[in-house]
Amino acid sequence: MTMTVDAISLEVFKNLFAAVAEEMGVTLQRASFSPNIRERLDFSCAVFDAEARMVAQAAHIPVHLGSMPASVAYALRAFDRFAPGDVIILNDPYHGGTHLPDITMVSPVFVEGAVRFFVASRAHHADVGGMSPGSLPLSTELYQEGIIIPPIKLIEGDRRNAGVLRLITANSRAPEERLGDLEAQLAAQRVGEKRLLAMVETHGEARVSAHAEALLEYSRRMTEAVIERIPDGEYRFEDAMEGDGQGEFHIPIRVSLRVMGARMTVDFSGSAAQVAGNINAVEAIVKSATWYCVRLLAEDDVPVNAGCFEPVEVITPPHSLLNPDFPAAVAVGNTETGQRVVDAVMGALAQALPGQIPAASQGSMNNFTFGGTLNGSAFVYYETIGGGHGAGAGGDGVDGRHSHMTNTRNTPVEALEYALPVRVLAYGLRDESGGAGQHRGGAGIRRVYEFLTGATITLNSERRVYAPYGLAGGEAGKTGLNAILRTDGRIERVSGKYTGSVEAGDRVVIETPGGGGWGEQDSNPIAETDANGL
């Protein structure tokens, strides 16, 4: 029988596969315990074929979805065989993960006795152990960041490994919350399996698999068409990180973007060597950030799957900031260095496509973690905070939103104050923080927390020294600021990466960066800002 795949059926199956991932996400959110997953939606779900190629994703976290295929592939290599009902769990950044709080689950989907698909979910758990509450410490090795989970069958043939669950939850400062969030992921896995099997029952395995293959090919061709619109040539750009948690210093990220026809090579040779602190980014993150940038160039709704990745080669030098050696610290290579990789690649693309690329967005996820004990019970919390988007030829940058490699919501004040011993005294846009220009950069955010009990806090942020760059003569956005207002009246301005203690009544102030401006102001022409923002 000849299998027919046409434009209409391809669109139908694109949405059917995406709906599986979306329903997994809804299940995970509704069943979760922690504000980070339930309110901020810090999770991702996707569908893979039998060869661990991503077929479809939900509109979740870009840095998760671009790197998750490596976790799925590693899970497949770790086991000789699978059985119906299996669920593999892992979080190792050096085998497809991002950082230890991001725990991935992978489940095979059997059709007529053979594995035909996999479903996977990745969720950021608020605490998995390590040096400081929230598991994003100012670490110098991976062992300090929390429990490392190699690929393990959490469920084998429908038989749960209760010992593994106890081991993971025992390493968290909030074991009941961890158990609840892990159970929510398991529920999402089962929903994904069920929905895929329903697709197969309705349409037949051969038709479903044929359309999965066709979707990969379609996305590959569409991505090649995007690259072909870029003039052939080599485009270079340099940006920098401003510290690794062990000190503040210039840490360059250099990129050479080479375009030849429908292929692109993105080479990060010349970037900084591996550093002592927690900003090293494993290769999966760098690839994810690069693929994301290419995806942004598409004018049409190209399905994001493994086909999108094929025309883009990413080169990361070994022993470097962007391809470190185990067990280098990587806690915020995901959240902070991944953002700077985007800034560097977008800066190179701005040379290739002048007028089509926006200025730099805030360039940080402004990670804030804290934890302690109240009335004999532990509490722990993690959130990221939005900022300004870069302006572009089409208009001003968006105010106060997460940008690029994160796609989470904010945590509502009511949810935060209900669950934790803090008050949010201020939460609003940061006036005049966007870069000036023909089009203004988006404004950052100002958020002030008052602690009702003592706690340990950790801040991991960037763009506190080097401002988000403007383009086409637009000015840079305003750098961010972190400070602690002590009860005795002292004001401590702290660096982008800080860990320490607060007492009841102390206030933490976080002001996030504004986006870069685009174009010279007509009323007050200025010299073009250094696009590197340095």
pLDDT at 267: 98
The DSSP secondary-structure symbol of 115 reads: E
Mean pLDDT on 27-54: 92
What confidence score (pLDDT) does residue 59 get?
Answer: 67
Q: How confident is the model at residue 346 (pLDDT cuts 50, 70, 90)?
A: very high
Q: Residues 496-525: pLDDT tens digits? A: 999 999 999 999 999 999 999 999 987 444
Q: Where are the alpha helices (DSSP H) in 152-204?
A: 162-170, 175-203
Residue with tokens 């979707």: 215
- Return the pLDDT at 143: 98
% of the chain exceeding 90 in pLDDT: 86
* Neighbouring residues of 130: CB distance < 8 A, sequence distance ≥ 6: 100, 137, 139, 144, 145, 146, 331
pLDDT beyond 50 at 531? no
According to DSSP H, which parts of 282-373 are helical?
Answer: 283-296, 306-309, 338-352
pTM over 0.85: yes
Among the three residues 200, 219, 238, which one is the final residue of a domain in this structure? 219
* Residue 529: predicted pLDDT: 39
What are the DSSP calls for 234-265, one per residue?
EEEEEEEE---SS----EEEEEEEEEETTEEE
The DSSP code for 42 is -
- Can you give the pLDDT at residue 534? 39
Residue 43 in any domain: the answer is yes
pLDDT band at 526 (very low <50, low <70, confident <90, very high): very low
What does residue 486 show for φ and ψ, rounded to 5 degrees?
A: -80, 160
pLDDT digits (tens, 9 = 90+) for 351-364: 999 999 999 999 99
Q: Is the pLDDT of residue 422 over 80?
A: yes
178/380 Cα distance (integer angstroms): 11
Report the pLDDT value the prediction gives residue 167, as an integer from 0 to 100. 97
Question: What pLDDT, on the 0 to 100 scale, is given for residue 525?
Answer: 40
Residue 179 counted as domain residue: yes
Task: Inform me whether the pLDDT recorded for 401 exceeds 60.
Answer: yes
How confident is the model over 461-474, as pLDDT tens digits? Answer: 999 999 999 999 99
- The answer to whether residue 519 is domain-embedded is yes
User: Mean pLDDT, to the nearest integer, of 213-223?
Assistant: 95
Residue 60 has pLDDT above 70, yes or no: no
Residue 349 lies in a domain: no
Residue 318 lies in a domain: no
Domain co-membership, 215 together with 363? no
pLDDT in tens, 74-86: 999 999 899 999 9
- Which class for 56: exposed (0-12), middle (13-18), buried (19 or more C-beta within 10 A)? buried
Residue 306 lies in a domain: no
Q: Note the pLDDT tens digit of each residue in 192-216.
A: 999 999 999 999 999 999 999 999 9
Rounded mean pLDDT of 381-391?
96
At 527 the pLDDT is 39
Whole-angstrom distance, CA of residue 257 vs CA of residue 221: 20
Name the maximum alpha-carbon separation found in the chain.
80
Residue pair 17/215 in contact by the 8 Å Cβ criterion: yes
Q: 407: which 2 tokens? A: 């796609």
- Residue where one domain finishes, among candidates 219, 251, 274: 219
Q: Which of 198, 219, 240 is the last residue of a domain?
A: 219
Q: Is residue 143 part of a domain?
A: yes
Is the dihedral angle over the CA atoms 91, 92, 95, 97 positive or is it negative? positive
Average pLDDT, the chain: 93
Distance from C-alpha of 398 to C-alpha of 501, rounded to nearest angstrom = 34
CB within 8 Å of 461: residues ≥ 6 apart: 336, 364, 365, 366, 367, 480, 482, 496, 497, 510, 512
| pLDDT tens digits for range 259-306 | 999 999 999 999 999 999 999 999 999 999 999 999 899 887 788 899
Number of domains in the chain: 2
Over the stretch 231-243, which tens digit does the pLDDT of each residue have? 999 999 999 999 9
- Average of per-residue pLDDT across 307-315: 95
Domain interval for residue 197? 7-219
In a domain, 270, yes or no: no
**67 pLDDT above the threshold of 90:** no
Tokens of 321: 């900031």
